[in-house]
Structure 1
Amino acid sequence: MVYHTSNRKGALSDTIAAIATPAGRGGISIVRVSGSLCFQIAKQVTKQNLKPRYANFCSFYSHNRKNIDQGIALYFPAPQSFTGEDILEFHTHGSPVVTDHLLNSLFHFGARLARPGEFSERAFLNNKIDLSQAEAIADLIESTSLQAARNALSSLQGEFSKRINLLREQLIQIRCLVESSIDFSDEDISIVEPKSILNKLQDIQNTIKIIYSSAQQGALLQEGIKVALIGRPNVGKSSLYNKLIGKDAAIVTKIPGTTRDILCTDIVIDGLAISLVDTAGLHESIDLIELEGIRRTRKELDYVDHILLVSSNQDGLTKEEYELFNELPNGIQVTLIFNKIDLDLTPACIEQSNLGKIIRVSALTGEGIDLLIQHLRETAGFNIKEESEFSARRRHLNALQKTEAAVELTKAALTKGESEEIIAEELRQAQNYLGEITGKYYTDDLLGEIFSTFCIGK
């Protein structure tokens, strides 16, 4: 990890521009500009000196001096702006023709098209927001429920960062104490009191667990889980898919192999966001289209969080399905779904088997669907009664887990009487893992991965 990355900071000398509002027609569109050329561009477009932080009503002119539109122009001089640079906004009528023509003129005046998320990235690189706050901007835009939106706003306002920074400061204080002891090692002076430090580390671990629990709920609210329905043809996968999403999206027939491609629908059930995937029936086939659907199904299974292996309640788990179960990717939750209980009047229930949980349902009547939904929530760790306080992402959860593990190693080193150098190094690792969350430590690849998911203009 590095504290600063010069490659991405080098691009800050460019002036960037993009349409900040969604594509299509509307009442108003916003074209945003950030960089050192903003003042110059404002004069070229509006033919006047804009009053800072004031809604200036004016006409907008193209690079060939033709009148494009009239609207509101806003100018925010650095450093008191979102990106920390000069920022310019043109509020036009919501015609794609108008905004495209204006954007093209901005390119003639020296700006370039912004990359996805580049405005937020510049705000981060210019220390206006930290990395978790930048991610919260995208989370707020992408939120699928009111609670998820509230959590994202809380993170944007710094609630999550505040807790992480406080933890990090506590680790730094302990590390400074240990490193001071190293400085006095030749004088046979011991500053480190193992019992006192162990107590402080235990308090830190307890705090990490509390933050992790809330972050886990926040991540589930924001990102949800991806669930795939798989199985042999004609076991009712598509019927179950339609029942869960609440509409007839998948074609259902008695003809084997009706579903030949992957269907995916995003739903929210009791606050839990679920990306539900219906797949082609897995079986031996010589049909080229079916074979391609089967190939895509197997590839998709590497990217899901939970697999529902659907079988017929009348047949039980066949030899073919047992072999399929053993071929599934490791580390992914698998639940057996025995469908069509309406045919033999079996009651809906959840059972434990040597292969895991079995849930008996009827996609036709809806019996057992409530048990399935409850099971999905429980296995995901989602607790509808537990109020989350901020949004989070899986990378944050991973960083918190690594921090807790590093603190545990520090406690073990203290207990064993290891040298202060080893103890200090474990503390440094824990400190750095927390720094990854807020962006105290980052790589170009991490920034690229995060901001590439943003929309252009944000």
Structure 2
Amino acid sequence: MSKNKEFNVWFDHLPDDAKNKFKSSLNKAFNYEPKVAIFGKTGVGKSSLTNALFGKDACPVHDVEACTRDPKEVFMKLNGDSKGIKLLDVPGIGENNARDKEYFRLYSEILKEADMVLWVLKGDDRTFSSDEDFYKTCMKPYIERGKPFVVAVNQVDKIEPFREWNLNECKPGPTQEGNIAKKLIYVAKQFGDLPVSKVIDVSANERYNLNNLILKLVEDLPANKKFITIDNMDKIIQEHEEVKKEKSNAFITVVNEVIDTLPIPDVAKNVAKKVVEKVSDFVSSAWDTFKSWF
């Protein structure tokens, strides 16, 4: 008997009240739609990075005035067959002073609702003064209260010596890698007290290091939001072993938490947990089953 069938047999033998509670609790746990806010200056590649993370059609270009009028309208649902997440790709700062003042108010409203914040910089930019100003005056209070925040230094394949980029292996050469490391340290210092571990080097066009960006972005999220966020990532990213493991662990954590609430003997709970934790393919098959209940 496969382990997934073992779990189904366990579920089928539950009393009706326990079955109903299991379904309703899972529905409640996975019904929340995490909100990802993506900020940065115009031209740093926010949309290309967003599309690389969530899929080519995830981030159409939004009209600036519509975003300014009602920021909630730009939240969008991904993967129409599930609850998914809500993605927010906002207009970039740095167009002009009048726009920046407008966006400051817009960003403040968005930050109140966002579960996690991704700030995008361009790897070969020499200065980040406007980004630093927005971080210190607008974002830092939310970060200090625990809002997950990560800086993505995009287009690192353009950092000198850019001809050293290894096209076959899609990674920087040794000198370029050293310069990238220096850039991450510089960015962290520019943002004041931001840990360098929160600054991740990526290239959307080269699909470089996107898995590490995702792991850092979701690491402080509750298990249910972590799972849903990863579940809506581009399928290529989800195939990375670290991402796959993080997704599986988050899913199992939520399922076990639900099992703990059921009105059944502890021995029955322990049987279910052992089955769940032993099955490497449990996540994908069980998640498809669970979604049909919602």
TM-score (norm 1): 0.33
Structure scoring higher RCO (CA < 8 A, sep ≥ 6) equals 2
Bigger strand share: 1
Structure that is richer in helix per residue: 2
